[in-house]
Amino acid sequence: MTKKNPTYEELQENNSQLFWALCENSLTGVYIIENNQFIYTNRAFDDILGYKKGELLGLSPENIIIDEDHWKLAENNKMRLSGQSETIQYEIRAKCKDSQIKNNVVFGSIVENKGKILLIGNILDITEKKKNEQKLLKSETRLFSAFKATGFGIYEQEGIPNDENRNYYFDKRARYLLGINSGEESNWFNLWKERIHPDYLKKIMDLVVDFNYNGFDILSEEYPYNHPTLGEIWLKHTVNRVKRNQKGQITDMIGVVQNITLEKISEIQLIEANRNTLESETRLNLAAKSGQLGVWDWNVRENTLIWNDKMFELYGIEKNIFSNNFEAWEHGLHPDDKEAALESSKSAFSLEKDYDNVFRIIQPKGDIKYIHATGIVIKDESGQPYRMIGTNKDITDRILADNELILAKQRAEESDRLKLSFLQNMSHEIKTPLSSIIGFTDLITKGDNNEKEIEEYSKQINENTEKLISIIDDIIEISQVYANQILPEIKPFDFIRLIKKINDELNYKAEEKGIKINLNINPNTEEFLINSDEEKIEKILTHLLNNSLKFTSKGGIEIDCLLGKRMLDICIIDTGIGIAQDKQKIVFEPFRQVDSGTTRTYGGNGLGLPISKAYIDLLGGNISFKSKLNEGTSIKISLPTNM
């Protein structure tokens, strides 16, 4: 029989039985340490580490903490005992009885009892949380590695143009391709302008102005670039607007750069081959075929247009219906790109300069293609321009990939923002009951309290402990759901008994708020057996009804159950505050809350609806709802009765 420590017995005699019962029945691990030895651990503490009752008494915390974390224990105990901090929170790894290592969060404080210094606190097992964090980190690492393999460089700017407080981020490849050294970020735009080929500078700057000030949301261009170490290279540069302020100024944008020098050299060499002689069409067609390029020849004086086979393939046109004139090409242009494409081609001819443009076409079957067109002007014997020849290339896949890359980054950043917001909200939700537990515990252990006060403090500790456990359970539950770690446990059960039990449990809360819950069952029967997961259905209904009860302050709640041979339909109708139309699409999304102000006013962590939706999907059912602001919400659930 284990010999009890005298201090432990004294503590039992001098404190209320209710407090000790609370500690013993808490699902959070509770411990008390005197002279660096455990003199008390509750059942939850023993269960976390796999020990039987009493086995840890007399042991030092160093006996169960892994060697690498001893310094954490010593440092935090030193801080508490020296008076630097009375309450400490930190993470530490502990050895279970079976040698398994578990991650725990420790919340500890100092208590003085009859001249003796005691360390008292709680531990939470966060092993599964740590595992999920590692899985997420590995997933993000794989995503980043895949992105690096594409050869793109990416950068981001936050802040309006010419703002000295503008923030910049360049990844390693973007720095390399643009020739931006560390410390040059704030001046990168001026360096970039200086390195653009003079023949392209005005065109690029005009596009930048349109992008920044005329409401354009995306800019994509190819241009020669005088790189400080690589010499002249060709860059493919796409910039996407992320945010604009109320004045229309861009406040956040993402840029993607790619080295396309080899590709451009191939295209330039192809066009130069035609510049030397008009009789080289056979060689040009062979080169175009190998490069998957469409070749065109436009005689401006005679308004004749000659295409090779690849051009017909790109535009989806049959040779026998092609009219061989400029208007035939114009007819296939996308309406939104037609004016710019026509102006670009005619401008290149009139100014006798090389033609380079990107536009969309619509094939006869409705497919949209992005075309990169290049060309040169041919002069007659008198030196007058009369003809243009060039190439078309289908760059649809590349454009879509660029756009998808930008969208993927935006989605990843939005996901990170939502997760950060969720973690901040959860931190607040956890700290609120935890602060109450610590505060009332201090009042009990330090104050001169009568029995009524101790009873009230203990009640507050119990209620806040239940809130804390509920929050942690929800966090663990949503993590398991979205990690596909939960499977249904199907067996027969009486649904009538279950719904009546839930209704009875919630009615006392409803009465406190002065509202009524009405349960209607059709057909009215004493028993209704279904084959499903009773625990999951109980959680679904409890989450949904608690939600209705929380947001309903007048009127009432109706629960209508329609019992069918194949499906069970449940409708929950309340007269609560309702949900705004523009917020209804996010109510079932994890890590999202309809409104943080509402959440703070009414309480809760916003996980009830996502958990309910996940469980309904798991059981092969469906959920829908209708809601009107300030009038109420109606939720309908349909579940199969025989899975």
Q: In this predicted model, what pLDDT tens digit does every residue of 419-477 receive, in sequence order?
A: 665 666 666 677 777 777 787 787 777 767 787 877 887 888 887 787 777 777 777 77
What does the alpha-carbon distance between residue 396 and residue 138 come to, in Å, rounded to a whole number?
32
Q: If you average pLDDT over every residue of the chain, what do you get?
A: 81
Q: What's the confidence (pLDDT) of residue 5? A: 53
DSSP state of 594: S
What does the alpha-carbon distance between residue 292 and residue 332 come to, in Å, rounded to a whole number?
20
Instruction: State mean pLDDT over 503-521.
Output: 89
Q: What's the confidence (pLDDT) of residue 275? A: 58
In the chain, % helix, strand, coil (3-state, to 5) comes to 45, 30, 25
Q: pLDDT > 90: what percent of the chain? A: 19
What does the alpha-carbon distance between residue 264 and residue 257 come to, in Å, rounded to a whole number?
15
Check pLDDT > 50 for residue 546. Answer: yes
202: Cα separation from own chain's centroid: 40
The two structure tokens encoding residue 510 = 């409803």
Check pLDDT > 70 for residue 62. Answer: yes
Greater confidence (248 vs 23) lies with 23
Strand bridging mode 101-113 / 116-125: antiparallel
Structural domains in the chain, sorted by start: 1-125 (3.30.450.20), 150-259 (3.30.450.20), 264-394 (3.30.450.20), 412-484 (1.10.287.130), 486-640 (3.30.565.10)
Q: What's the confidence (pLDDT) of residue 90? A: 83
What does the alpha-carbon distance between residue 101 and residue 25 come to, in Å, rounded to a whole number?
24
What does the alpha-carbon distance between residue 531 and residue 535 come to, in Å, rounded to a whole number?
12
Cβ-based burial of 616 (10 A; exposed 0-12, middle 13-18, buried ≥19): buried
Check pLDDT > 50 for residue 283. Answer: no
Q: What's the confidence (pLDDT) of residue 560? A: 94
Cis status, amide bond into 523, omega within 30 of 0: yes
The two structure tokens encoding residue 156 = 């981001």
State if pTM tops 0.85.
no
Provide CB contacts within 8 A for 643, sequence distance 6+: 488, 490, 531, 532, 533, 619, 620
